[in-house]
Structure 1
């Protein structure tokens, strides 16, 4: 989705940046993990296929993705973004009859960053962006039944379990963003700084389009 190609959302732990070709090698390395393939219901791709996927995320109107960086490591710009990557967060806008419904996914790929609040903050930031910039009023999350930590996190973010698919062993959680929920969400993300990607000082060669 081109709408976020020049957007940076900087939180206290996590920073969200657009998914560029510079991020693909690290992302590709993550997705060789059988654990991540299982948790994300993904098939392993070749590096060339991963670059094609990155281009589709950038171009397709029904997908919005950010790469999750470690704010502390990234903010000083002493390291390239690839060295600061911890995961990604996505929104799928695939219901053609309801453009206000977004399916949200979060992946903290680096094991050392799990359970430290990165997933929660990144998810809240993406939800806030979805509400304020994409017109989302309803969120769904589809999570494997074995991923208890992710299910628990979404429930803490006010999502309610609405369905269980025993065939795919998947739980669907949902949040309708009422006025009250919107105020809560915006309050949770009031510390987030929104910047343009092109104005952020990056190491030479780091910004690719």
Structure 2
């Protein structure tokens, strides 16, 4: 699992996949969510859509640090559904995501081991078709400089910033969005590269 504080991955859009095992149908629905509330809303939507299903098991993981997560078996044997879904999410290194696996029982019991494999396989089936979306984590750095320093400053902004905005008046103001781990270094380099003629201030996000 990546430990880079400057970015993490989620999925670009909702996806759904289905597998069948011994007449039981497993429908995996995945969505990008930014909060527990959004995860609960998606879960409620799936439960409404598949109101007649035997189980709607799920797991979600939220935040760049992945410290917010939950897994639920929804009536399946303890640890046989929610955790395999969560482990599959972690295997793919996604966050800000919920996966709900809906089961329609086909008449044949799968056993705990069979259920673990089924819920894991269903989750991987849907995650395999998800497009990965990178979420960049940045800090805004405000740069104040005169026109004499703009070529130096712009060259550094182009090299370091994920994005930036410019405002030209008597002086030039640039708000550069810099990866979190590099913001201090960038601000110091602006200062030294312009011989202290340009000022760089890290703003609150």
Q: What band does the TM-score fall into relative to the shorter chain?
A: under 0.3
More strand by share: 2
Structure ID, larger Rg: 2
Give the TM-score, by structure 1 length. Answer: 0.27
More helix by share: 1
Give the TM-score, by structure 2 length. Answer: 0.27
